[in-house]
Every structure is written in structure tokens, then in C-alpha cells.
Structure 1
């Protein structure tokens, strides 16, 4: 509600300011330019925070900066008016480009090296966590598409999964805010809690790395958590985590099929006769989400390229830096849509779902480590 109200205020009360701004802005400067520049500056600030405090992942810092900006009245007004087009572009298009580039981190040979038992366990944990979180979210009557977005974020790959799933579910910005806040909170807690539990649980480096890769949300959070136990733990954690990321494609495809089937049922139920079905069918089918969005297909293509093409290390390094920068800008933009005042009204139910999902995936992953090692 806070987002919609701010946008409405900006469009009515800020009309003269917008006109003045348009006169001062060069004709070659795009409407989205200011928002993208701000997101880029925020990404650089997040990099500085990460450099000063390595325990804070860069992407987590970017989300945090966005969340802070979203609470300050002065920046709220800018985010909801002059910066809005660029922030929206960063939160959607730049996020999707970053997800495509994320595929270059993963080779199918790395996945095969884990062995079939580990791959099957990863798929099972993702499926169980996703289904249980979705069911709990619906049971507690979370609004909009929050249940499925929280399920994707906690079971697959954090904020990136939330952004990817929101494309196929056509989620509103306010529905994305709560899941992103929750995966950021729980992923940050994992950086400090999981290493403390390592010794009492008797986990060696490889076991700890597998536990982290199976249970922690964002890739950056996985790196920050696993590196505490050493390079062996980090190597295992990254491969396991990126294999979890690969499950994003089939999960999005499944949800896309479900969404299309639901649209078809609603169309048939709402049409009174054949002529109406034909009239409304063309319009509705155009609005149906793609079974596999283009950027998910691009992500899979990037994985295949990394597998079959011997890419030079310099190119992979540049792609990695670009991917990190784009995701940092996107996550700042997504974080800036979070309004704590709005979250407080329904936040306790979402918090229960998030903490329950986090506990479930941690316990399932720990059990899997015991079985596999």
C-alpha cells in the first residue's frame, strides 16, 4: 500500500516538478537513466562495504542498502517518482541478465562430479522444501503470490529465485518485498549461526561445505558461510549450491504450466458462450506467462556453453564481475521496494513461514549430509 500510495502521490502532487525535471533533462537522457545510475552507485557502495567487512556478502549489502533507502521519506519520494522507471528496469531486466550470466558459473561436468546420489538428494530437498513452504504459506493465508515466492527463495537460490519466479507468476512489487526481506534475513543469520554449529555437530570441512550448499539461500551467502571452514568446504559448497540453482529452470517451467492451465480454466469458466471464448481467448493467451521465460532459457544455454566450450579464464572473470554488478543493482532495486510499515501489518505470518522453511531445509540438509558422507 505504501508503494502504491507513494507512486500515486508522485504522479499527482509531483506533476510540476516532473515537468520542470523534463525541461532540465537532456533529450538524449532516457527516463530510466537516473534510477539505473542510482542502482549502480548503490552497487559500488555495497562493494565497498563487502571489501571493508568481508563477512557481509556484496549482494546482501546491496539488498540492505535498498531496504534502508526504502524507509527514508525523502528517498521514498524519489524512488516512487523520478527514479521509478530505472529502479523497475534494474529490478526486472538487469536481474534477468544477471541470472543468464550466472549460468556461466556452472558446468554439467561439475554436477556429474557430485554423483547421482547427491544430485537426487538435492532435487528431493528442493522439492520437499518448496512444497512444504508453499503449503504453509497458503495455510497461513499469505497475500498474493507471497507463498510461492517465499517457497522459491528458500528452496532454490534466494532473491534471484524470487525475481525469476515473479516473472512467471506476474507478481506485484509488493508481493516480492516480503520474500526478499525474509531470504536476506535468514541468509544473513546463516552466515553467523551455521559456523558456530559446525564443531558441536562434528562436521569436517567437506560435510560442512555440503550442508551450507544444500541449505543457504543466495550464492554470496553460501560463499561467506562456507569460506569460514576453509577452501575445501568452499569448493564443495559452491558446486552443490550451483546445482540447486539449476533446479530453478524446471521449477519455473512447472509453475508456468500450472499458471497457463489455471488461466485456461478461468477463461472457460468466465466465458458464457463459444463466441465469447474466442473473443477473450486471444487476449488472455497473450497475457499468459511463458512456460519457460526467455531468460531462464538463456541461463540453461549459458550452462551448456560453459560445459562444451573451453572459455578463457579472462572472459569468465569479466562475466562474473558483470553478473555480480547486475545482480547487486537489481537487488538494491528490489530491496528499495520494501516498506517496513507495510510489512508490519502481515509480517508475522510471513516470518513464521520463512523461519519454518529455513529450519526445514537446514534439518533436511543435515540429514542428507549424514547419509551421503
Structure 2
């Protein structure tokens, strides 16, 4: 066999050598994330680069990313105080309501004008309005979206999340936003919880607390928006995936506020959660392959960009003027 088909054996060997190299590279980056050598933006960037080379565990990526993000967010709750969290949530609730339904209405209008497929347009709008990939995953079964529609919406959100993680801290420093202002702005204007927390953690501890609290309060709006989707798409038998992990985040907040023992170990839990978040962003980056980017399409991406820029500018204006 060796003498009859040497080219087949050579190709087979090269394939396994290439796959082995990707696996070694993947686990090397994972270890660097776990040891704290990579910042969240750097981890995301390396993940995007690796996505172009090939992800050795692509089939497991979505489930692992979702689980790790939820665990990391709950861990961050151990670094927060309940009273401060409630105050932050109260401050952002009015603008949260206005921005969510304003974004959904603008998204509907853009979808009509640009003649974007209805379900794709709604998923992009819901992802921008609430909490990115989590909202899309929750609403998709309600409207019975197919794989192509979900991929287009997720691709749009992930691309813009990646950009936001890099440019939001730069814009925040340019406008000399306080940590509180930046936390509020990023929670409203950045889609996904992972990128919100990643951007805010680079800005400061107070920014991280405000951003995480406001974003998770915003995520609860998945439930009424999913109900709205059942009316719009007339799928009353479908159910949304409720983000139950938010309840664990609240329990972590309460424990850190009132339980002395928990307060002693909280700093270590928060450090581990931040490492988990960095690893999450690396995994999110590995999902942004050329195939995913091509699947988005020009119109949904353009719709997503317009919605994102609109809500970002509006939120920045409000945040600056509320405190002035």
C-alpha cells in the first residue's frame, strides 16, 4: 500500500500533522488565558486569528462558550455589593426601556426599507436591543428561525462586539467618561454581556460593577420581548430560553453583601471569573471564521451597524448630559 499510493499517505500524514499543530496552538492559548497572560481584547483578537486557521473543537465551541460565560458572570457577582447594584440598576432602567423598544422599532423600519428577511431582521434588532447572542438564542425558537437566519444574526452581533471591545475604551477616555459613566454606556450600547464586561473591566472596577449590573438587568427583558415575538410571528406554542443564571448572579451579590465568610474568599472568585471571561472572549473569537462572516450578508450587517451606531451615540449623549 505504501508503494502503490505514497501521495495518499503523504497527504494523510500532513493532515494529521496540521491538525496536531492546531490542537497544540489551541491549548497553548487556553493555558495563557488561564495564567492571566492575555488581556480580554488580546484573547479575542487571537481567537479571531485562529478562526481563520481552523478551530479544532468547533462543534463544541458554542455550548462551551455559553456555559463559561454564565459561570464567569455569576463569579463576578461575588465582587459586588447589593445596595450599589440596586442603585445602578435603578439609574439605568428608564433609558433601558426607551432604548430597547426604540431599537426594536428602528430595526423594524430598517428591515422594511432594506427588504431584509423578517426573522433575520428581528433577530438582529433583538440582539442589538437586549444582550446580543443570548437574546438571539432565546428568541430564535420562539419565531422558529432556521440555521441561516440565526447564523446571520449571530455573525452580525459577534463582529460588532469584537469592534466594540477595542474601540469603546478609547472613546471613553477621549470623552473623559468617569468609570460610572462608561459602565452605564457600555451596558446599553454594546450587544453581548461578554464584550460589555470585557470592555468595562479594562476601564476600571467601578465601571465593571455598573456595566455588569445594568447589562444583566437589561437581559431580563428577553422575557417580554420573546412574548412580543410570539404575537408578531404568531407562534404561541413556542417558548423562549429564560436566562436563569441571572438568579445565581443575584444570589452571589446577596452572599457577598451579607455573609462574612463569602466576603473573605470573594476576591479569589472574582479573579477566577475574570480569567474565565478572558477565555470566553478567546472562544468567541474562534467562532468568527470566514464562513461565518460570509454567511452574514451585506444587508443584515448594514442594519446591525446602523442600529449599533444609533444606540451608541444616543446613549453616549444621555450619559454625558445626565451627569453634567
The alignment's TM-score, normalised by the length of structure 1, stands at 0.61
What CA distance in whole angstroms lies between the structure 1 residues aligned with 2:116 and 2:79? 34
Q: Secondary structure at the match of 1:247?
A: helix
Matches within 5 A, 1:161-200: 161-163=132-134, 165-170=136-141, 172=147, 174-175=151-152, 176-198=154-176
What CA distance in whole angstroms lies between the structure 2 residues aligned with 1:335 and 1:221? 15
What CA distance in whole angstroms lies between the structure 1 residues aligned with 2:172 and 2:318? 16
What's the offset of the Cα at 1:221? 0.9
Task: Provide structure 2 residue ranges, at least 5 long, that are not aligned to the other structure.
Answer: 1-11, 17-21
Name the residue aligned to 1:231. Answer: none
What's the offset of the Cα at 1:63? 3.0
C-alpha change, 1:187 and 1:148, in structure 2 (3 Å) is farther
Does residue 298 in structure 1 map to residue 245 in structure 2? yes
Aligned length in residues:
291
Q: Secondary structure at the match of 2:170?
A: helix
C-alpha change, 1:253 and 1:353, in structure 2 (3 Å) is same
1:153–1:180: 8 Å Cα contact kept in structure 2? no
Q: Secondary structure at the match of 1:338?
A: coil
Name the residue aligned to 1:307. Answer: 254
What's the offset of the Cα at 1:97? 3.3
Matches within 5 A, 1:22-33: none
C-alpha change, 1:346 and 1:213, in structure 2 (3 Å) is closer
C-alpha change, 1:345 and 1:261, in structure 2 (3 Å) is closer
What CA distance in whole angstroms lies between the structure 2 residues aligned with 1:89 and 1:206? 32
What's the offset of the Cα at 1:182? 1.4
C-alpha change, 1:153 and 1:349, in structure 2 (3 Å) is same
Matches within 5 A, 1:1-373: 41-46=28-33, 47-50=36-39, 58=40, 60-72=41-53, 76=54, 79=55, 83-114=57-88, 116=90, 118-133=92-107, 135-137=109-111, 139-142=113-116, 146-157=120-131, 161-163=132-134, 165-170=136-141, 172=147, 174-175=151-152, 176-198=154-176, 210-212=184-186, 214-216=188-190, 218-224=196-202, 226-227=203-204, 235=206, 237-258=207-228, 265=234, 288-290=238-240, 292=242, 296-307=243-254, 309-310=258-259, 312-340=262-290, 343-344=293-294, 346-369=296-319, 370-373=321-324
What CA distance in whole angstroms lies between the structure 1 residues aligned with 2:116 and 2:57? 29
What's the offset of the Cα at 1:351? 3.9
What's the offset of the Cα at 1:149? 4.8
C-alpha change, 1:154 and 1:195, in structure 2 (3 Å) is farther
2:155–2:296: 8 Å Cα contact kept in structure 1? no
C-alpha change, 1:366 and 1:95, in structure 2 (3 Å) is closer
What CA distance in whole angstroms lies between the structure 1 residues aligned with 2:294 and 2:120? 15
Q: Secondary structure at the match of 1:48?
A: coil
Q: Secondary structure at the match of 1:71?
A: helix
Q: Secondary structure at the match of 2:37?
A: helix
C-alpha change, 1:187 and 1:139, in structure 2 (3 Å) is farther
1:216–1:222: 8 Å Cα contact kept in structure 2? no
C-alpha change, 1:109 and 1:371, in structure 2 (3 Å) is same
What CA distance in whole angstroms lies between the structure 2 residues aligned with 1:354 and 1:187? 16
